[in-house]
Structure 1
Amino acid sequence: MRVKLRSWSVAAALSLAALLMPAANAAAAPAGGPPPCPGGSVCFYTGTDFHGSSWEWTATSGYRDLPPQLHDNVGSFVASTEACFINWQPKETRAVHNGDWRRSYKGDFGGRIDGVNGGHC
């Protein structure tokens, strides 16, 4: 018995290769964890995935209003200390702990945050 081998078309071979190899964009995707933020600080970013304008709040500075570019506009954050995120109208708070981070926060409390204070809420 003789088996006839089929030849693959170039298009079929490329399609199979595309399925088996990771996409080029996957290599460009952000790493699984957040960027470093100095101990005793919370690092805020206007964009998701820790991009855009940034600002570092330190626990020793006490309560601070967020700068204009971040007021109601926190896209992501990394916390290296205990903190309390505050929205004033209506008053809401969110406790943040050392090691907390959010890659996409604007659709959540990041779209309402007005200020940050140290310690627990």
Structure 2
Amino acid sequence: MRARTVRTLLVAGTVLLGTLGSPSAAQALPACPSNAICLWRYQDGTGDVYVWRGGYVDLPAKFVDHVGSFRANRTGAFIDWATGKDCRPVRVGDYASNYQGRFGGKIDAVGNTC
């Protein structure tokens, strides 16, 4: 009887840990190709996507000041030109599922470095 109780508790603990370890915001965003930074128009990786793979690029008009979420699979830099150069470095593994209220509401370009 005691072995059965221990097994039940072990199963319950495994289920609980599996629930607590459910996907984080980074995993909830859609996939992004390796060696790229993906920018989505809306939060949680929804809407149009822009895939940046390197070099300096002015964002397409619909993304300027309107990046709702992103995932970085390479290093890069987000740049705002509104009042001179304001730059945010981006590292591999960085992401935001709701970026519009932060620098996503300012971003004009993406480059390799600040």
Q: TM-score, normalising length from structure 2? A: 0.73
Once residues 104 and 63 of structure 1 are traced to their aligned partners in structure 2, the CA distance between those partners, rounded to angstroms, is: 24
Once residues 30 and 67 of structure 2 are traced to their aligned partners in structure 1, the CA distance between those partners, rounded to angstroms, is: 16
- Once the two structures are superposed, the pairs formed by residues 44-55 of structure 1 within 5 Å of their partners are 44-55=39-50
- Counterpart of 1:105 (choices 93, 96, 99) is 99
Q: Which has the larger radius of gyration?
A: 1
Task: Give structure 1 regions of 4+ aligned residues with deviation exceeding 3 angstroms.
Answer: none
Unaligned runs of 5+ in 2: 1-22
For 2:47, what is the secondary structure of its paired residue?
coil
Partner of 2:80: 87
One-letter code aligned to 1:42: I
- Counterpart of 1:68 (choices 61, 65, 71) is 61
Give the Å deviation of 1:38: 1.0
Give the Å deviation of 1:35: 2.2
Once residues 52 and 102 of structure 1 are traced to their aligned partners in structure 2, the CA distance between those partners, rounded to angstroms, is: 15
- Check conservation: 1:53, 1:69, Cα contact below 8 A: no
Percent identity, please. 40
Partner of 1:38: 33
Once residues 66 and 50 of structure 1 are traced to their aligned partners in structure 2, the CA distance between those partners, rounded to angstroms, is: 17
Q: TM-score, normalising length from structure 1? A: 0.69
1:78 equivalent in alignment to 2:82? no
Partner of 2:53: 58
The number of aligned residues is: 88
RMSD: 1.0
